[in-house]
Amino acid sequence: MQAKKRYLILLSAGACVLLLSFLGGLQLPAARSRQDRSRTGHRPDQPWPHFSDPLHPFVPWDHTDTEEYNVHVSPRQKRDVNTSVYKGRRCRMDSCFDFSVCQRTGFKVYVYPQQKGDKISESYQNILATIEGSRFYTSDPGQACLFVLSLDTLDRDQLSPQYVHNLKTKVQNLPLWNDGRNHLIFNLYSGTWPDYTEDLGFDIGQAMLAKASISTENFRPNFDVSIPLFSKEHPRTGGERGFLRYNSIPPFRKYMLVFKGKRYLTGIGSDTRNALYHVHNAEDVVLLTTCKHGKDWQKHKDARCDKDNAEYDKYDYKEMLHNSTFCLVPRGRRLGSFRFLEALQAACVPVMLSNGWELPFSEIIDWNTAAVIGDERLLLQIPTTVRSIHQDKILSLRQQTQFLWEAYFSSVEKIVLTTLEIIQDRVLEHSSRSSLMWNSHPGGLFALPQYSGYLGDFPFFYATLGIKPHPKFTAVIHAVSPLVSQSQPILKLLVAVAKSQYCAQIIVLWNCDKALPAKHRWPATSVPVIVIEGENKVMSSRFLPYETIVTDAVLSLDEDTVLSTTEVDFAFTVWQSFPERIVGYPARSHFWDSNKERWGYTSKWTNDYSMVLTGAAIYHRYYHYLYTNYLPSSLKNMVDQLANCEDILMNFLVSAVTKLPPIKVTQKKQYKETMMGQVRNTRSTPVNTCSSPSSRASRWADPDHFAQRQTCMNKFASWFGAMPLVHSQMRLDPVLFKDQVSILRKKYRDIERL
Amino acid sequence: MYTSGKYSSRGPALIPRMKTKHRIYYITLFSVVLLGLIATGMFQFWPHSIESTADWTLDKRSVHDAPLIRLPVSSPIPERGDLSCRMHTCFDVYRCGYNPKNRIKVYIYPLQRFVDELGVPISSTGLSREYNDLLSAISDSDFYTDDITRACLFIPSIDVLNQNSLRIRETAQALAMLPRWDKGMNHLLFNMLPGGPPDYNTALDVPRDRALLAGGGFSTWTYRQGYDVSIPVYSPLSADVEQPEKQPGPRRYFILSSQTAIHREYRAELERLKEENGEALLLLDKCSNLSQGAASARKRCYKGQVYDYPQILQESSFCVVLRGARLGQAALSDVLQAGCVPVILADSYILPFSEVLDWKRASVVIPEEKLSEMYTILKSIPHRQVEEMQRQAHWFWEAYFSSMKAIGLTTLQIINDRIYPYAARTYEQWNNPPVVKWSSVNSPLFLPLIPPRAPGFTAVVLTYDRVESLFRVITEISKVPSLAKLLVVWNNQNKSPPEGEKKFKCPECTAIDGLSLDQTHMVERSECINKFASVFGTMPLKVVEHRADPVLYKDDFPEKLKSFPNIGSL
C-alpha cells in the first residue's frame, strides 16, 4: 500500500515534470525559429546583426600613421618617376606640363606665326584672333606658359575639304614643339566614317587637347578640356543672347520633349536615333527622324523611312525648339552635336542621350543644374523621367541654360577664353575659382580669382552666402586742379562727404602736375584723408584697385561735384540693396542713331537713362579691379589719350557683367542747373595739363569733347561685341520724397529742401 | 511531531497517512512542480518586454557563428580591374530601374568566414569594427534591401578596408565566389588603406573585375572619374575624443604640422620654414620618451614639450596634411574636425568626395614642390576667407567624415546621384553649412532678365463687397495700355458677384473705408507678422529707405514730356 501510493505520487510528479519540459519545449523552438529568420535576413528592420565580439579596429594603433615611410624612396624621386611614366594617354598636369615657365611670367599664351600658304579655316582664324586679342597673349615665346599652333587642327576628318595634310611633319618641324609640352591643340572633328575614332591623325605628344565630342574614355581629366561643337557661323565676339525673354509660370510649353534630325540606319551611333520612334507620340513628345541624307539613302532605307520622312516634314524645327520644355540631344555619329548649343540658347532644357560624352567644360560646369543627363540604355524611360521633374526645377534648369549660354558659349571668344581660364585655374591652383564662381551669375569670365579667394569680397555672392557688404564706403576724389583757394568746390565736397555717417575714409587722387598741397591745406575731418599721387596722371588711374580702399563700396567723385551729406548718405543706403550695380547721380543715355548707323550719346533730360557717371556714384571696389585687369589696354589707352570716356567705359563694363542698368537716385533740386551745367563742363581740361580753375575753359564747350564720347561708345560697343548698356526708367527716391507730410517726418529732408 | 500525530488521529483523510519524512518529501516535490508550472506559464504569456530582451541577447551574435567557407586553391580569380570602366560601360543600370523615389536599393551579403584549404583565414583581422559600423549603418538606412533580386548595388561583407591585413589572391577568390558577383557588376568595395610596401599602389591591389571602388587615397592615375568614389581615411580619434566646436577666427599658431610619419626630406623643409618664421609655426613629432600604444597616439612633442593630440589642432589656423607613403591621410579628418584649414600637399591626390565637395572653399592645395613657399602662399589669403574655410572645414567633417556611417551613406548618395542625375543633390545642398543654408537667399527667378512690355500684366483685384470702390478700380485700371487681363476675386460667400454694369449702392462702404485706421485691425496685423516670423524661424522682411519713381518724377520739367506725368497727383 505504502509503496503503491509512493509510485502513484512519483508518477504524477513525473507527469508534471514532463508537462513542464513540454511547455518549455514549445517555447524553445519558437525562439529558434525567430533567430533563424533573422539569420536568413527576412526581417527588414534589423538585417545586419549586432555582433557582441570585441572587433579589431581596421588599422592597429601603432600603425596610425603610415609605417616606415622614411625607408622608402624620396618623394622627389617618386615625383620624377611619375613624370616619366605617365605620358601619352595617361598625361596629367603633374606629368606632362611644365609649371615653371608659368610661375616666372604668369599665364601667357603664345601663338605661332602663320606661315604663308597654310590654309586656315574661318573658325580657327577666330580662335587665334581671340587669343591674340586677349589679355593672355604674348608675342614672345620666351614669356609663354602655353603655346597654340597656327596650323589648323580643327577638322581632322580625312574626307573633309578642310583637312590639313602632312600635319605630322609640319608639327614635328616646329622649333618650339618640345614633344608638345605646354601646347594646346583645338579640335572639333576627328576620325571619319565608319568608326569615327578620336585620333587626330598625328602624334600630339604631351600636348593638351581642347576637343569637341570627346569621350570619357579618352578624356584625360584635368588635362584636356572638352569644348562644345560650334558651327562656322558661330560669331567671333558678342554673340546672340539667349532666347528667354521672360519666365512663364507654370513653366510648361506646348511640347514636353522634341527632337528633329537625321537617322543613321546602320553603324556607329545609329541605335539610339533608330529607336526614337518608340517614344514619339505626335502630341507632346515629338521625336522626328529622316533617312534623307547622303547620296544614296534610297538604297539603304528601311521599312519605316517613308513614314518617318513624311512625319519629319510636317514640323518646323525652329517652332519646335522655341516651344518645347525639353529638347532631346542624342548622339550622332560622333558624341557631340550642334543640337546641344541650339537647345541651350533656345532655353529648351537639353536631355542628353550620348553615353560616354564628356560634356563641354565638364571640369567647371555642373551640368545637372542646366540639363537632364539621360542614359541611352533607358531611352524608353525618358518621357516618364522628364515628366517627373518638378516645375520649380524646370524653371531653374531653364534659367541656368541661359546663364551658361551667355557666360561661356555664345561666341567663339567665350569658348576660347573659358578654355584658357580653366587652364589658368589649374596653373595657379591656390588662386582659382570655386565651383560656385563658375556656376552662378556672372560666371567665371567676370569673377577673377586673382582679386580674392573670398567670395564675400565680390559684389555677386552676398545673397548666396547670406551676408552683407561692409557698412561703410571709401570716397575717391579725382583732383585735377591745383589748390589755390579755400572756397574751391573740392574742399566743400571733402567736408560734406566726411560728415557722412557711412564714410570710412577719403582718398584724394592727385592727378594734377602741380605739387601736392601741404597737409594743413586740407580741411580737418573726422575721417582719415589719404592723398595719393597719381602715377602717370592718366584718367584710368582713378579706377586702379588701390590697396588703401578697404571698404566694399567706393564713392567716386569728380573734384567739382556738388553733393550734400544727406545725398551721400541716401545714395549709400540705396547701394547696400544693389551692391553689384552703379548707384549715383548724373545719369546719361545712349541711343541707336539709325541715320548714321551708329550709337549715339545724349545728356539731355530724358525719361530714361542707361549710365550713371562716375563723377558722383557708388559702386563696388571689385569694379576697380575688373576695369584695370579685365579690359584690354587698347580701350584703356584710348581713355587715357582722350582724357575722356572713362565713366562710359565703367558703365559698359558693369552692365556687361550685371546685364542690368545702373541706378539713379534723387538729387537736390537746386543743383539741377549746376549739374546740368556740369554735363557741359565736368572736366574742362585734359588731366595731364593741370591748370588753375579760373582759367578752365569748358571742355564741354569744345565740340570735340562730345564727339569723342560718341566715338568712345562705338569703339567700346565693338570690343564688347554688343551694346551692353540697358535702359532704365526708374529713379530711387527716399520713401516720403515730396509726399504731403510734415518735412520733419522725413529722414532725408535736405534732398527736397530748396 | 505533535501536529502530524493530530492529523493521523482524524481517521481517513484526503492525504493518505504516511510517514512524516515522506510527507515532507512529497510536499516539497509538489511545490517544486507547481512553482515550475507557474514559472513556465509566466514565461509563456509575459508581454513582449521579456521576449525582446531575450531576442537582444540572441541577436548579439558572435562573428564566429558566421559560416565557414573553404576556398579551393583553384578557385577562379577575378580580373584586375578595368581602368576604362565607366557607369555606362561597366554598370548594369537595368538593375536599378525606374524608381519613383529615385533611390537605389543596396544589398549586403551575409557575413561569411573565408579560409584557404589549410584553414588559414584570408584576412588577419576579419571583420573590423569600422566595417561592421559601416555595414550596420547602411542596413539601417533607406538604401537597404534584404531582397537580393531587387538590389541595384551589392556590398560584400568581406572587409577590405585595410589592404595590409589581406591576402590578396584569396580575397579576390572569395569575392568571385559571391553568388551574384557576375564579374563584379554593380558591386561596391570600400577600401581606405590601399597598396603596400614598397611602392604603395594608390588603389586596392585585390583583383576585382568591374566592381566599383570607394577608395581612400586614389591618385589621378588610378581614379576612374565618374565611376569610383574617393573617400576619406577614417580617423578613429573622431569617436574617442569629444571636442567642443571652436568658432572660426584667429588662432594661436598660424601653421601646425602634427603628422608623425613625414619623410625626412619634407621634415627638413618644414624645419627650414620654422626657422624663418618662428612662433607662427608649430612643428610637432612623435614623443620619443613615451611607450608605444593607444596613449602615444594622443600625444605630440616639440623639443621635449608634450602636446595633446588632436586638441592642439584647434590652436592653429592652418594644419599641414602631407602625403605619406599613401596619399590619403587620416590626419585630414582630425584637422577638419578641429576646424583647422588643411593645407594639402599630396600631388595627384583625388580629394575625398571631390565629385560633390568644393574643396577650394575648405582647403588649400599646394604642390609638394612648393612646400618651401607655403608660408608666403598662406599669408596671402584674406582673413575673412580663412574664417570661411575654417567653418567650411568643420562642416565637411561633421557631415561627411565624422563616422563610418557618414562616410558610407555619402558614398551611396554620390552613386545614387549618378544613377538619378535629374534628382541629384545640388551644389548648395552638399556644400553649404546649415548656418549658410538658413541665411542665404536663393531667388527662384535668379536670371537677370528685364521682361519685355509686350505681354503686359494681369491685374488681380480682391474684393469683398465694396462694389462701388471695385468699379472705380476697374474703370481706372482698364485705361492702362499694358493691361492684358483683369481678374476679380470675389471673396464673399454670402453674396453673389454683381453682373454686368449694374451698380450697387453701398452705404456701409465709407465705414469700411476707414478700416485701416481701426486699432484692432493694426493689432491683428502685428500679430500676423509675429506669427509668420515664428513659423519662418526668422524675419525675412528687409527694411529699405528708398522707393521707385519715374526718372523725372516731380522734376521742374514740362509735364507733357514726361513718360509718367500723373504719378503722385492723386
DSSP A700-713: TTSHHHHHHHHHHH
Strand order in the sheet with A255-262: A285-290, A255-262, A324-330, A349-353, A372-373
A67 band by pLDDT with thresholds 50, 70 and 90: low
- What residues form DSSP beta bridges with B300? B307
**Which residue bears the cell 557575413?**
B111
Q: How far is A748 from chain B (nearest CA, A)?
A: 9
Among the partner residues A46, A52, A68, nearest to B62 by beta-carbon distance: A52
Q: What is the pLDDT of residue A529?
A: 95
Percent of chain B residues past pLDDT 70, beyond the cut? 86
CB contact (8 A) between residue A748 and residue B545: yes
Query: What is the model's pLDDT at position A62?
Result: 56
Mean pLDDT, range B416-420, rounded to an integer: 96
Element (H, E) at A734: strand A730-734
- The nearest alpha carbon in chain B to A396 belongs to B444
Higher pLDDT, A672 or B140: B140
Dihedral sign from CA coordinates of B200, B204, B210, B212: negative
Pairing of strands A730-734, B68-70: unpaired
Q: Do B108 and A48 touch (CB under 8 A)?
A: yes
Q: How many CB pairs under 8 A join A and B?
A: 368
Look over chain A and give the mean of its residue pLDDT values, rounded to a whole number. Answer: 88
- Secondary structure (DSSP) of B233-245: PP-THHHH---PP
| Alpha-carbon span B537 to B438, nearest angstrom | 9
C-alpha cell at A354: 550620348
Give yes or no for a contact between B150 and B106, defined as CB atoms under 8 angstroms apart: no
Q: Look at the block and give the residue holding cell 465705414.
A: B511
Q: Find which of B427, B436, B443, B546 to mutate to test the A interface (most A CBs within 10 Å of its CB).
A: B546
> Do the bridges between strand A155-156 and strand A189-190 make them parallel or antiparallel, or are there none, so unpaired?
parallel
| B255 pLDDT above the threshold of 90 | yes
In chain B, % of residues over pLDDT 90: 61
Length of chain B: 570
Q: Is B374 exposed, middle or buried (0-12, 13-18, 19+ CB in 10 A)?
A: buried
CB contact under 8 A, A463 and B292: no
Grid cell digits, residue B561: 514730356
Residue A675 backbone dihedrals phi, psi, to 5 degrees: -65, -40
Question: Which chain B residues have a beta carbon less than 8 Å from that of A656?
Answer: none
User: For residues A272 and A255, what is the distance between their CA atoms, to the nearest angstrom?
Assistant: 21
List Cα–Cα distances, A396 to A21, A244, A443, B263, B417, in angstroms. 71, 12, 16, 50, 18
Task: Write phi, then psi, for B190 (nearest 5 degrees).
Answer: -105, 125
Mean pLDDT of A212-225: 95
Q: Which of B93, B162, B446 sits opposite A375 (nearest CB)?
A: B93
HSE (side-chain half, CA atoms, 13 Å) at A128: 19
What distance in Å separates residue B563's CA from the closest CA in chain A? 6
First to last CA, chain A: 135
A602: β partners: A589
Is pLDDT of A71 > 70? no
- Does A197 have pLDDT greater than 80? yes
Q: Check if the beta carbon of residue A150 is closer than 8 Å to that of residue A113.
A: yes
Among A288, A278, A340, smallest CA distance to A314 is for A288
Cβ neighbourhood burial of A211 (10 Å; 0-12, 13-18, 19+): buried
Q: Does residue B171 sit at the A interface (CB-CB below 8 Å)?
A: no
A77 versus B348: the higher-pLDDT residue is B348
pLDDT for the residue B50: 41
User: Does residue B240 register a pLDDT over 70?
Assistant: yes
Mean pLDDT of B375-381: 94
Chain A residues with beta carbon closer than 8 angstroms to that of B40: 20, 23-24, 27
Phi, psi of B60 (to 5 degrees): -70, 75
3-class SS at A509?
Answer: strand
Q: Specify burial of residue A524 (Cβ count, 10 A radius: 0-12, 13-18, 19+).
A: exposed
**Does B448 contact chain A (CB < 8 Å)?**
yes
Q: Which three cell numbers stand for residue B306?
A: 608634450
CA dist A645 and A638 (Å) reads 9
pLDDT in tens, B259-306: 988 888 999 999 999 999 988 999 999 888 766 666 777 889 998 899
Nearest to B385 among A23, A79, A454 (CB): A454
What are the helix (H) ranges across A41-92? 75-85
The span from the CA of B386 to the CA of B316, in Å, is 11
Residue A296, exposed/middle/buried by CB under 10 A (0-12, 13-18, 19+)?
exposed
Q: What pLDDT sits at residue A700?
A: 52
Percentage of chain A lying above the pLDDT 70 cut: 88
Cell readout for A731 is 529713379
Q: Which residues contact A634 (CB under 8 A, 6 or more apart)?
A: A719
| Confidence grade of residue A282 (pLDDT, cut at 50, 70, 90) | very high
pLDDT at residue B114 greater than cutoff 90: yes
Our answer to whether residue A704 is catalytic in this structure is: no
The per-residue pLDDT for range A101-124, each reduced to its tens digit, is 898 888 999 999 998 888 899 999
Are A47 and B84 an interchain contact pair (Cβ–Cβ within 8 Å)? no
Integer Cα distance of A588 and A602 in angstroms = 6
Q: Does B545 touch chain A (CB under 8 A)?
A: yes
Residues of chain B positioned with their CB less than 8 A from the CB of A432: 360
Q: A580: nearest CA in chain B?
A: B448
Residues A234-254 have pLDDT tens digits of 999 988 999 999 999 899 999
**Strand pairing of A583-584 and A616-620?**
antiparallel
Alpha helices in A287-379 (DSSP H): 297-300, 305-314, 317-322, 339-345
Catalytic residue among A152, A647, A733, A739: A647
> Grid coordinates standing for B336?
577638419
Q: Which of A175, A179, A27 is nearest to A91 (CA)?
A: A179
Beta-carbon contacts of residue A70 (< 8 Å; ≥ 6 apart): B261, B263, B264
Q: How many CB atoms lie within 10 A of CB A606?
A: 18
Extract the C-alpha cell encoding A201: 591623325
Which chain A residues have a beta carbon less than 8 Å from that of B111?
49
